[in-house]
Amino acid sequence: MHFSPDSRRRQGRWMPALAVAAAMVLGSPGAQAEALRLMAFGDSLVHGYGLAAGDTFPEQLEAALRADGLDVTVINAGNSGDTSAAGRARLDWALADDPTAVILELGANDGLRGLDPNATYDNLDAIMARLDEEGLPVLIAGMLAPPNLGREYGDIFNNVFPRLAEKYQAPLYPFFLEGVAFEPTLNQADGIHPNAAGVAEIVKRIKPQVVALVKTARLAEQSQQTN
């Protein structure tokens, strides 16, 4: 679900804007009236394979956001073993939970199985189109191909997520397992699924972009209320 060295990200430039974003969300009248519903839509990395209650990505992310004063409920819409095709097939069912924003984390199992990256793109494209149709802000959580599948496959697969981000002008967190893949102390015995400490590391790294997503969703809500 992940394999590859840490991808490079430039988070420094986000920090001033994110501080302003958090202040805007917390200071907006009525912003805390109802918890924002953030859906984490993905595979076992979201669902929490092998983890105890309270240790999954949605639960740890929600706790981290609430610790920062953000009234957010993170919906666990992960399903272990899902490929991009399986996620596409159950999207409408997941949307019945009425999310306000979405973290899209799918494709890891496509890469592990060596599935056609073009099919992965098509499936994720259909998911993004549906979310766009619903007017939902989305943070794309990318994945990297296992290196044993070769450079050609990896180049095509790894480009799936930046292509989607560009097409839909959506924020991209390039590699969901940044800082966790290949770190024995942060993974379960299978070397594939993060343990509780690994999930905590993911949450710490992705949280700035999630805060920005929350800000975007809150502003969209406020805009709808004034129209």
Residue indicated by tokens 């099919």: 119
pLDDT for 20: 41
Residue indicated by tokens 């993004």: 128
* Contact call for residues 91 and 127 (beta carbons, < 8 A): yes
Class of domain 35-226: alpha beta
pLDDT for 159: 99
* Contact call for residues 65 and 21 (beta carbons, < 8 A): no
pLDDT for 221: 84
Could you give the 3-state DSSP secondary structure of residue 182? coil
d(CA 179, CA 199): 10
d(CA 67, CA 89): 34
β-bridge mates for residue 141, sequence order: 173
Residue 37 is inside which H or E element, if any? strand 36-42
d(CA 162, CA 165): 5
CB atoms inside a 10 Å sphere around CB 181: 23
Could you give the 3-state DSSP secondary structure of residue 39? strand
- Alpha-carbon separation of residue 166 from 171, 187, 209, 211 (angstroms): 9, 31, 16, 20
Catalytic residue selected from 47, 84, 110, 193 = 193
pLDDT for 126: 99
The domains of the chain are located at 35-226
| Total length of the chain | 227
d(CA 214, CA 98): 15
Active site residue 28: no
- Alpha-carbon separation of residue 211 from 45, 64, 111, 189 (angstroms): 20, 10, 28, 32
Q: What is the mean pLDDT of each run of 10 residues along the chain (227 residues)?
A: 42 39 43 81 99 99 98 98 99 98 99 98 99 98 97 98 99 99 98 98 99 95 76
d(CA 7, CA 144): 9
pLDDT for 227: 64
Catalytic residue selected from 92, 98, 190, 223 = 190
pLDDT for 168: 99
d(CA 176, CA 91): 20
Active site residue 2: no
pLDDT for 33: 53
Catalytic residue selected from 4, 44, 47, 84 = 44
d(CA 59, CA 53): 8
Active site residue 44: yes
